[in-house]
Amino acid sequence: MKKALSFLLLLFPILSWGCPMEERFIFFPDSTVDVTPRDAGLSFEDVFFTTGDGVRLNGWFVPYQGSKITLLWAHGNAGNISHRVENLKLLHQQVNISVFIFDYRGYGRSGGKVSEEGTYKDATAALQYLRSRADVEPKRIIFFGRSLGAAVAADLAAREDCLALILETPFVSIREMARAAFPLLPIGPLLRTRYDVVEKIAKVRAPLLVLHGDQDEVVPYEQGKKVFAAAVGPKEFYTIRGAHHNDTYIVGGAAYFRALRNFIERAASRLPTG
């Protein structure tokens, strides 16, 4: 998440005016789609799908020939899917799986206005879209969320079946982020946006992988540990040494992608054969 979250916390008296003002300091959508996977040499499908409450969303499906696994990617709070193209390319090529990344309402070419509840509905619609595809096996879908997207993915996994759940740089909750930034100020109770990851993760039974950079300057490393501790199913924690908030896959390099690949292979091995 952006450092601007700290600015939100400094303005906590304003937050009592209402949720719309609060959301302006949590979500940082960008409507300009600068590049596509094609610019990175990837074949992809540019798709649109509709949420249960009628919002039209945009996403990219990047198939990997021969893979039976599909990764459903919920991104962070800033930009849009076009800002993840280079990461998408590396994930697709080094982990060897199909990837579906989508924009929340209000981001990129998706319609509507973003909100916490809206992001949950968007993830549900993205999953329903994937399950409707003939080339996707519903039992082999993995949920992946980074930063704010980790909260979205955790909520989805608490409600829907998945092969596995991967959370990268997750926070405990928005209120916990506020307390960590300003321990002497009673900011948390004023925040209407919750994104309570610890509450949701306790309901997840799918295999879980948590990854966190030990130099994360936005979401404290200890919060990732707390999320991991709250999980009750099969779980693994991977520390990305020297990584900050937005460079995990760069600093982690080959070892980072190997950790993802090995975890996914172990999760897939739990499925019945035949």
What are the structural domains, with CATH classification, of the chain?
4-269 (3.40.50.1820)
Q: What is the spatial distance between Cα 122 and Cα 77, in angstroms, rounded to a whole number?
A: 14
User: How confident is the model at residue 23, as a pLDDT?
Assistant: 81
Residues 82 and 154: beta-carbon distance below 8 Å? no
Question: Roughly what angle, to the nearest 10 degrees, separates helices 221-230 and 174-181?
Answer: 140
Query: Using one digit for the tens of pLDDT, what is the confidence trace for 22-78?
Result: 787 789 999 999 999 999 999 999 999 999 999 999 999 999 999 999 999 999 999
pLDDT number for residue 8? 47
Q: What pLDDT does 7 receive?
A: 42
- Helix pair angle (116-132, 148-159), 10° resolution: 60
All residue ranges of the chain with pLDDT < 50 are 3-4, 6-17
pLDDT attached to residue 120: 99
pTM of the model: 0.92
pLDDT of residue 181: 73
Backbone torsions φ then ψ of 91, nearest 5 degrees? -60, -45
Q: What is the pLDDT of residue 73?
A: 99
pLDDT for the residue 187: 67
| Residues in Cβ contact with 18 at an 8 Å cutoff, skipping those fewer than 6 apart | none
The predicted pLDDT at position 272 comes to 81
Catalytic positions, please?
147, 216, 245
Q: What is the per-residue pLDDT for 21?
A: 65
Total Cβ atoms within 10 A of residue 174: 25
